[in-house]
Chain A
Amino acid sequence: MATVVHTDGLTKDFTTGFWRPRPHRGLDGVSLEVSSGGVFGLLGPNGAGKSTTLKLLLNLLRPTSGRAEVLGLPPGDLRARRRLGYLPENPTFYDYLTAEELLRYFAGLCGFTGAECRARATRMLDLVGIEADRRRLMRQFSKGMVQRVGIAQALIHDPELVVLDEPMSGLDPVGRRDVRELILRLRNEGRTVLFSSHILSDAEVLCSRVGILAKGKLVAAGPLAELTASGSRGCEVVATGVPSAFVARLAHREVKVVEIADGRYAFELPADSAPEPFVAELAASGGTLVSVTPLRTTLEDVFLERVR
């Protein structure tokens, strides 16, 4: 698979403070590779450097050191920009243009003319579900509708790389589901989607590969399956009719106990502890086993472990 995004030691320093300017490292030596096809999630808490990374890839910011390549070209190269689409975080557009005018304008900037601009604008508005509002001024749009127009403009020229900065931001549950489906559709069409998010459930559903940023550093990167298959977190045993004496005996053991209801408990056993002796002990004390579930390492576990 070809590499569509490559960064090598990408570092960005900002200056903060007006009276006494101080340098602040926004991104610290990030080396990242995104291969073509599939969905790559750039994850991290707020302020981790996700948007900074994307802006460096789009030449909206320039690196303090290190380098980046997008589609094999420097970020500012027009040939690269012809092949990528970008949705900024919390996008805003022109108050006094309609959604259709805006999309036709952006299609024109991408080199399309006349009927082709109109056709593309119509197709994209249909795709993001705001065809009925095409002639309304953008200033009358809700935040969710602006977000949909933002996605439409990012896709207006059929880019092979789609960069989405927090694409679910400002969307209601229906909108979020629609965007998730759209991202999966883009992936199925063979495009590469690079998106940033701090919503892990979205990333877990969508991404084939992820990179986790924390305080400007890339703390983990790779296929999602590999990151989450680093080991079992143990298992969860659910039982009813558990005597309180049994629960009291667990106080000095490495078992996490959660009371679900009266006499019904969930026991979380550590990875190095086999469930069979515990289940036998439980049965001997008079408890009734309901279920034993292995605990898989989730993206959230990986995320929390790396960003702390």
Chain B
Amino acid sequence: MSARRIGLVAWHVFKESVRDRVLYGIGAFALLLVAGAIAVGQITAGQDVKIVKDLGLATIELAGMLMTIFVGVGLVSREIERKSIFALLAKPLPRWEFIVGKYCGLVLTVAVNVWVMALALWLVLAWMAWTSPENVRMSWEAPAVDPRLALVVLMITAEMAVLVAVALFLSTFSSSALVSVGLTVGILIAGLLSSDLRHFGDIVVVPQPVAGLVSTIGWILPAFSAFDLKGQVVHGFPVAPGFVLHTLLYAVLYAAALLGASIAIFERREFK
């Protein structure tokens, strides 16, 4: 194993991704949404900070998802489609190092973007706190520059790390970038509903085998909804001790399992 080679692959993925026009488009979209949140905040008396936090965090999550899907899926499947992978795999680079390097590079790209957007949101919130009178600040459910916002962003980053692993896994056996995008979006939506799927039998009246099957699928799918701390933090509710650690551990194990499966498939893959 060469950490240096993995680092090289990751660094070049990051370098290429941050120059990709798709990323700029998503960044501009995110800024537009944050600006929209501020505008909405202006016309809702007393609720402005909560709305800016709510919409700002949702925007960061959505932009992270779009980046992962549109940049991440292309990482392997577009390389295979365009055959740029041939020259790379002819170099003394084991395939598993290629996969791990690609994964680390995209997680780094998405994480940097998510935290830069979060920093922008913090600056907006700090400005709002600075310009608001004390009596208004006292009425807020949570302080504007709430340190717990970092927990929400950390959870969004962990959610994206799992989504990157999903995108990479699908890319390793799909030969079309478009198919990979479709499948990743499908798993993302299903994963956001995984909590409902797990308790499908309690929500919908269906025969037991159907409820069991849907519930099993719900347990297999990544539980993206579990990473959502936005509501609790924005409204100042407490977060259960150990929840963040357990969810992070889940993300690490889930991403590691998907990476392992991706490597197993990719090691056997042939390139016509």
List the interface of chain A (C-beta within 8 A of B). Answer: 14, 55, 58-62, 78, 81-82, 84-88, 90-97, 101, 105-106, 108-111, 137, 150, 153-154, 163
Contact = CB atoms under 8 A, between A and B. Distances in A.
B143 interface: no
Interface in B1-51: 4-5, 8-9, 12, 15-17, 19-20
Contacts, number: 80
Given A97-B12, A101-B15, A105-B8, A60 B91 contact: no
B89 interface: yes
A91 B270 contact: no
B87 A96 contact: no
A91 B90 contact: no
Contacts of A111: 92
Contacts of B9: 109
Contact of B86 (A60, A106, A109): A60
A109 B87 contact: no
Given A93-B87, A153-B87, A61 B272 contact: yes
Contact of B91 (A14, A106, A137): A106
Interface in B175-226: none
Contacts of B239: none
Contact of B90 (A60, A62, A105, A137): A60
B84 A60 contact: no
Interface string B80-94: 001110111111111
6 contacts: A88-B90, A96-B17, A96-B20, A108-B5, A108-B8, A154-B87
Contacts of A96: 15-17, 19-20
Interface in B157-176: none
A81 B90 contact: yes
Interface string B58-99: 000000000000000000000000111011111111100000
Contacts of B15: 96-97, 101
A74 to B, nearest CB: 14
Contacts of B84: 91-94
Nearest to B18: A96
B87 A150 contact: yes
Contacts of B89: 58-60
Interface in B220-272: 270-272
B213 to A, nearest CB: 28
Given A55-B271, A60-B270, A92-B84, A86 B20 contact: no
B271 A78 contact: no
Contacts of A61: 270-272
Contact of A110 (B17, B82, B91, B94): B91
Contacts of B94: 78
A109 B90 contact: no
A87 B270 contact: no
Given A61-B272, A96-B16, A97-B15, A109 B82 contact: no
B127 to A, nearest CB: 34
A109 B91 contact: yes
A106 to B, nearest CB: 6
A84 B16 CA distance: 26
A140 B246 CA distance: 47
A91 B91 contact: no
Nearest to B270: A61
A62 B19 CA distance: 35
B16 A58 contact: no
Residue with the highest number of chain B CB atoms closer than 10 Å, among A14, A87, A108, A137: A108
Contacts of B270: 60-62
Given A14-B272, A97-B12, A108-B5, 18 more contacts: A55-B86, A55-B271, A55-B272, A59-B89, A60-B86, A60-B89, A86-B90, A88-B83, A88-B86, A93-B87, A94-B84, A96-B15, A96-B19, A105-B12, A106-B88, A109-B5, A154-B87, A163-B90
Which are the 9 A-B pairs with shortest beta-carbon distances? Answer: A86-B90, A96-B19, A88-B86, A60-B271, A109-B91, A96-B16, A81-B92, A82-B92, A78-B92
Nearest to A109: B91
Contacts of B16: 94-97
Nearest to B17: A96
Q: Which residue of B83, B92, B270 has the most chain A CB atoms within 10 A of its CB atom?
A: B92
Most buried by A among B4, B15, B17, B87: B87
A81 B83 contact: no
Contacts of A101: 12, 15
Nearest to B82: A92
A86 B19 CA distance: 27
Contacts of B272: 14, 55, 61
Contacts of A108: 4-5, 8
A119 to B, nearest CB: 17
A61 B271 CA distance: 6
A94 B15 CA distance: 11
Contact of A109 (B20, B83, B92): B92
Contacts of B92: 78, 81-82, 109-111
Contacts of B87: 86-88, 91, 93, 106, 150, 153-154
